[in-house]
Structures are given as structure tokens and as C-alpha cells.
């Protein structure tokens, strides 16, 4: 086939045929209306209001003998490209995280995107992807600019203006037909592209109002926490270990394939730990996040304040709320934060006043990279045990972020029976690891890998509680959010399981009194209180009301 030469391109550029007009119209409609990777609206290919208004304006300028300035045409083309990017962001966000996407509220997360992709992509592939994105965006803008110019020239012809009017009227009439019978499954046109741009711009003042709202919520929560009993005296100096398990969501309790294995794992907990004197209670709490945004869930647990997007979270950090660590420290505890996947200092976002923070570089891991957080959770738990729990001068409150179950779930290490062999982690290179071909592009097909990582974490915790803990420690196991994408099945529930375990029954009794189910299996019936309610309930259940004591004396 002969390539189009300079003359061929010139002929195309001057083409004013109805075919050229319809081609430019179709291109701009696709750019504005295509919802991929979101679900496509039926009849999305109908002329959208944006192109109808644009072409109507072009037809009017053609009748008046005027031309659109190049700068204006460039702005129009760039606007179509922006809509395309926003549509893509909407699709990803709704599919994986069940929430609306806004650039403004997520700008601070952009530096983390390369790190996430680098989990399953080589540096070379990541660089190629970045180049491809830049080139693709430039090509998209240039093609949209060319389509605007072609449409403008074509509308100089009366026949094309008549064609534009007939097509618009016909498709407009079709979209207004009653939707029953053969058209019962045809949905109305989705919101127009201009509306999406307006929505993005209006997100800025909404985000700023959210900052004020979070500031008021922090102040109100601080006052309530200070006014309520908060000395934690009823813990009797028992250690408290809180294990936050990544992507441990309520879908595991709902889905048939998931639920069968989860019932077996819960039964193993009940049998083994029950025989070792543990009392257990379980329930479901409502997370502020779905599919991602673990830090929103951590913030709810730590502060008693619910935030649901990145802008609110950053406002929370700036407000410096009271945290659960503050109250444990006041009760004489050493407070420890364990975040093995955090590779950089927390910086300005560090509102957590723990005595000691273990981040990725603090673990001196010498084993193979196994999963998103590099080191397996068993290694993280063992290192913390050796450094903080074996020899201690005062009780400990430790909050762990377990991340072996973090998407995209491509490696499941084998649990090590003999904890004394964990060492510097190099032993994991000689153990069997199950590898999966899942990556960010195929995460919707990684349900088995997801479940295997959750089972791994629960097995590690069960073995740890059975063989390594020998006192009356209160253990909290809680999820942060549902898994992303199709791994959550059809669930739209924001619930996450929570379990309380201790050899001292009195430490679990307050949760049972609150309606938690006895044993490891949570009751799924809702509605569920939010994760942010946990701090208030915990302080109330394990603190002495000094005001009443004082008045009684």
C-alpha cells in the first residue's frame, strides 16, 4: 500500500465531503463519550450535546464567513483530551475504589503512582509507559485539533450543514423514545463532557469547604475525647497489639468461594486458640475506604475522625488530632507503629505521636522481595516481637500494618513453623513461594491470589498467638477496606471484619457486651458502626470514670 504523501495529506486536509465531516464528528464523540475502563452507557455513540453545540457554533460562524482562531481551536482540542483523561480516571476510580475521581483532591498521590506500577513492571517498562502516555496525549490532542478544523471546513458547505441538522434531529428523537419493549435496556445519555469539566473545577471549592469541615470535626472529637473517661486503667497494664490487615474486607464473608475457606480458617482459630485459653469476639465495622486508601481507615481507627478523600485526609494531618497513641502513652505504655511498606519519612503528614516508628528501612530485611511490601508479614511480626515485646520495661501498644495481602497479590510466601529461624529474612529464599501472574492490568482475575494472601496472614497470626505470645495480651485483628476491583465481587458493602482475642476473658468481655459474636466468625447483619467509633468505645470500655470516683469520695 502506498503511503500518503504531501499531496495526499493536502487533499485530505481540504476534503469537505460528508464522509470527512462524519469522520470528524465521530472522532470527537468517541473522545468525549467513551467510558473505558468504566461501564459503557448504551448509545454512547449518539452525538453528545458538546459536539452538537460545538458544530452548531461552527455552522453559524461558517454562515457568517468567519474562522475559528487557531488558539481557540487548540483550546477546544485540549479540552477534549482533558475530558478523555477524566473519563479514564472516573472509570478506574469507580471500578476499583467505588468513588468519584477528582484531580485536585488526588494531586498529592501522583508521586506514589510510579511506585505502585513498579511493583509488577520493570524500570524499563515503566519508562516506556511514561513515554507512551506523553506521546499518546499529544497525538490525541493533535487528532482532536485536526477534527475540529476538518469539521469547520466541512460546515462551509450547505450540504454538510443540512446533514448536521438531519442527523441531530434523528438521534435526538431516538434518545427521547419511551424505554420499554425493545428499548427497555437502553439508558439515557450520560452527562455531557462540559459538565464533567465543570464538575472538576467545582471540586476545588468543595475541597476547600471539606478542609474547614474536617477542622471542625477534629476540634469536636478532641473535646469529646478529653471529656470522656480515657485513662485505660481497666487494661491492667496488658499489652495491646492491633494488626490492621490490608484489603481484609467483608466480601470474604459474603462470597461463596471465599466464605467456605474463611469458615475453615475461623474454625481453626476457634479450635487451636480456644484450646490454649483464648477468648474471642468478632464483628464488622464500616470503613471509610473501598478498594484502596488504607490511610483513611488507619486515620479513623487512630483518631475517631472519618475522612473519605485525600484532601480531607491532608486537612486531618494539618489539624494534628488526638490519637489512640496519645491515650496509651498517658496510661504508661510505650507506643510503637509498624509500617513495613512505608519507604519514605512521613514528613508533614505525620500526625501520629508514637514513641517509635518502624518503617521499611528499619527492618534490615535480607530476604527476597515477596509482594508489594517486599518483606513477608511473618518477618515483620517476628522482628517487632524481638525488639519490642520480649524484654520490656513497660507495657506496649503496637499498631501493625500487614501488607502481604496488598494488591496485586503476585506472591504468597510459605509460613515458617519455627519462628527462631526467621532471623534476617534470608531463610525465605529457601522456602516455597506461590507465584501468580497477576499484575495491575489483570487484577480482576486475581481472586484466588487475593484469598490466598488473606489466608496466609490469618495463618501467621494464628501461629504467632499460639506459640509466641504467652501472657494476657489483648489482640485486635481488623481489616482496612474491601479489595479493589472484581476481587470484591458484587459487594458494595464497606464493611471490614474485626476480631478481639485474649487469654484474659475480662479483656474481651466488653466487646461481647456490645453485641460482638463469640468466636472468630463475625455476624454479617448490619448496619455496622464506623471504624471511627472504635476509639470512643475502646476508651469508654477500658477507662475509669475519674469524675464519678471523685464525686463518690
**Beta strand extents in 378-528 (DSSP E only):** 396-402, 411-413, 433-435, 474-479, 495-502, 517-518
Alpha helices, DSSP H only, in 98-192?
103-106, 113-118, 123-154, 158-176
Q: Quote helix, strand, coil % in the chain, to nearest 5.
A: 55, 10, 35
Sign for the CA dihedral angle at 233, 234, 239, 242 comes to: negative
Do 259 and 169 lie in one domain? The reply is no
Distance in angstroms (rounded) separating the CA atoms of residues 283 and 500? 9
| Pair 180, 133 in one domain | yes
Q: Would you say residue 214 lies in a domain?
A: no
Between CA 275 and CA 279 the distance in angstroms is: 10
295 & 425 share domain: yes
The predicted structure's pLDDT at residue 53? 84
Asked if residue 235 belongs to a domain, the reply is yes
Residues 150 and 246 in one domain: no
What H or E segment, with its residue span, contains residue 282? Answer: strand 279-286
Q: Are residues 186 and 251 in the same domain?
A: no
Whole-Å CA distances, 480 to 224, 345, 396, 425, 498: 24, 22, 22, 26, 10
Per-residue DSSP letter, 530? B
**What is the rounded distance in angstroms from the CA atom of residue 31 to the CA atom of residue 299?**
38
Q: Are residues 413 and 525 in the same domain?
A: yes
**Tens of pLDDT along the chain (553 residues)?**
333 444 444 454 566 788 888 888 888 888 888 777 777 666 555 677 788 888 888 888 877 777 888 888 888 889 888 888 888 888 887 777 777 777 776 776 677 777 777 666 678 877 887 888 889 889 989 999 988 888 888 888 888 888 888 887 877 776 666 666 655 555 555 567 777 787 777 777 777 788 888 989 999 999 999 888 999 999 999 999 999 999 999 999 886 778 889 999 999 999 999 999 999 999 999 999 998 889 999 999 999 999 988 888 888 988 889 999 999 999 999 999 999 988 877 665 678 889 999 999 999 999 998 888 889 999 999 999 999 999 888 999 999 999 999 988 888 999 999 999 999 999 999 998 898 877 766 677 778 889 999 999 999 999 999 999 989 999 999 999 999 877 777 778 899 999 999 999 999 999 999 999 999 999 877 789 999 999 999 999 999 975 544 333 3
Task: State the DSSP string of 221-274.
Answer: HHHHHHHS----GGGTT--EEEEEETT--THHHHSHHHHHHHHHHHHHHHHHHH
Residue 99 belongs to a domain: yes
190 & 244 share domain: no
Residues 155 and 246 in one domain: no
Which of 158, 180, 201 terminates a domain? The answer is 201
Kindly report the number of other CB atoms within 10 A of residue 39's CB atom.
10
Task: Specify if 369 maps to a domain.
Answer: no
Q: 240 lies in a domain?
A: yes
Q: Report the domain count for the chain.
A: 2
Grid cell, residue 295, equals: 490511610
Beta-carbon count within 10 A of 402 CB: 27
Residues 300 and 424 in one domain: yes
Q: Which three cell numbers stand for residue 507?
A: 479483656
Domain around 262: 231-363+395-552
DSSP 415: P
* CA distance from start to end of the chain: 99
Residue 182 lies in a domain: yes
User: What pLDDT shows up at residue 5?
Assistant: 45
Residues in CB range of 126: below 8 A, 6 or more apart: 114, 117, 118
Q: Is 288 left (phi over 0), alpha (psi -120 to 50) or beta?
A: alpha
Final residue of a domain: which of 160, 185, 201? Answer: 201
Environment class of 333 (CB within 10 Å of its CB; exposed 0-12, middle 13-18, buried 19+): buried
User: Does residue 88 share a domain with residue 146?
Assistant: yes
Element (H, E) at 329: helix 324-330
Judge contact between 294 and 481, C-beta under 8 A.
yes
Residue where a domain terminates, one of 181, 201, 221? 201
Task: Clarify whether residues 125 and 243 are in a common domain.
Answer: no
Q: CATH code at 493?
A: 3.40.720.10
Rounded Cα distance, 280 and 262, in Å? 16
What are residue 337's DSSP bridge partners? 357, 399
Q: Is 189 helix (H, G, I), strand (E, B) or coil?
A: coil
Amino acid at each position: 500500500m502506498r503511503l500518503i504523501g504531501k499531496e495526499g495529506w493536502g487533499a485530505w486536509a481540504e476534503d469537505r465531503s460528508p464522509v470527512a465531516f462524519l469522520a470528524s464528528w465521530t472522532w470527537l464523540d468517541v473522545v468525549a463519550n467513551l467510558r473505558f475502563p468504566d461501564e459503557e452507557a448504551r448509545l454512547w455513540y449518539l452525538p453528545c450535546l458538546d459536539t452538537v453545540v460545538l458544530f452548531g457554533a461552527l455552522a453559524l460562524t461558517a454562515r457568517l464567513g468567519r474562522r475559528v482562531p487557531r488558539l481557540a481551536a487548540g483550546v477546544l482540542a485540549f479540552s477534549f483530551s482533558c475530558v478523555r483523561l477524566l473519563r479514564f480516571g472516573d472509570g478506574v476510580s469507580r471500578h476499583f475504589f467505588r468513588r468519584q475521581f477528582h484531580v485536585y483532591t488526588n494531586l498529592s498521590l501522583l508521586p506514589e503512582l510510579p511506585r505502585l506500577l513498579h511493583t509488577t513492571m520493570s524500570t524499563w517498562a515503566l519508562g516506556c509507559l511514561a513515554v507512551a502516555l506523553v506521546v499518546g496525549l499529544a497525538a490525541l490532542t493533535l487528532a482532536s485539533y485536526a477534527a475540529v478544523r476538518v469539521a469547520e471546513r466541512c460546515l462551509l458547505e450547505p450540504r454538510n450543514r443540512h446533514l448536521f441538522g438531519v442527523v441531530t434531529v434523528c438521534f435526538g428523537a431516538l434518545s427521547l423514545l419511551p424505554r420499554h419493549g425493545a428499548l427497555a435496556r437502553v439508558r439515557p445519555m450520560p452527562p455531557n463532557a462540559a459538565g464533567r469539566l465543570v464538575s472538576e473545577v467545582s471540586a476545588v471549592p468543595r475541597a476547600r469547604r471539606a478542609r474547614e469541615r474536617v477542622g471542625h470535626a477534629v476540634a469536636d472529637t478532641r473535646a469529646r475525647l478529653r471529656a470522656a473517661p480515657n485513662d485505660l486503667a481497666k487494661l491492667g497494664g496488658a499489652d495491646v497489639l492491633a494488626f490492621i490487615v490490608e484489603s481484609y474486607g467483608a466480601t470474604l464473608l459474603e462470597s461463596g468461594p471465599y466464605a467456605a475457606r474463611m469458615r475453615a480458617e475461623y474454625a481453626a482459630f476457634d479450635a487451636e486458640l480456644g484450646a490454649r485459653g483464648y477468648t474471642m469476639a468478632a464483628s464488622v465495622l464500616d470503613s471509610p475506604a473501598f478498594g484502596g486508601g488504607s490511610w483513611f481507615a488507619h486515620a479513623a481507627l487512630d483518631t475517631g475522625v472519618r475522612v473519605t478523600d485525600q484532601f480531607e485526609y491532608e486537612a486531618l494531618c494539618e489539624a494534628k488530632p488526638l490519637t489512640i497513641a496519645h491515650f496509651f502513652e498517658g496510661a504508661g505504655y510505650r507506643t510503637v507503629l509498624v509500617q513495613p511498606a512505608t519507604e519514605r519519612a512521613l514528613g508533614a503528614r505525620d500526625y501520629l505521636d508514637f514513641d517509635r516508628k518502624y518503617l521499611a528501612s528499619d527492618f534490615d530485611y535480607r530476604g527476597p522481595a515477596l509482594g508489594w511490601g517486599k518483606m513477608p508479614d511473618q518477618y515483620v511480626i517476628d522482628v517487632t516481637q524481638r525488639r519490642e515485646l520480649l524484654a520490656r520495661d513497660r507495657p506496649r501498644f503496637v499498631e501493625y500494618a500487614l501488607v502481604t495481602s496488598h494488591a496485586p497479590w503476585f506472591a504468597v510466601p510459605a509460613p515458617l513453623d519455627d519462628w527462631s529461624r526467621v532471623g534476617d529474612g534470608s531463610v525465605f529464599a529457601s522456602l516455597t513461594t506461590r507465584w501468580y501472574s497477576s499484575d495491575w492490568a489483570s487484577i480482576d482475575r486475581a481472586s484466588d491470589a487475593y484469598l490466598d494472601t488473606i489466608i496466609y496472614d490469618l495463618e501467621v497470626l494464628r501461629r504467632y498467638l499460639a506459640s509466641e505470645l504467652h501472657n494476657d495480651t489483648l489482640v485486635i485483628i481488623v481489616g482496612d477496606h474491601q479489595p479493589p476491583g472484581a476481587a470484591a465481587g458484587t459487594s458494595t458493602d464497606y464493611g471490614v471484619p474485626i476480631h478481639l482475642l485474649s487469654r484474659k476473658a475480662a479483656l474481651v468481655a466488653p466487646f461481647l457486651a456490645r453485641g460482638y459474636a463469640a468466636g472468630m466468625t463475625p455476624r454479617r447483619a448490619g448496619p455496622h458502626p464506623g471504624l471511627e467509633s472504635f476509639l470512643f468505645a475502646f476508651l469508654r470500655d477500658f477507662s475509669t470514670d475519674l469524675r464519678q470516683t471523685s464525686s463518690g469520695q
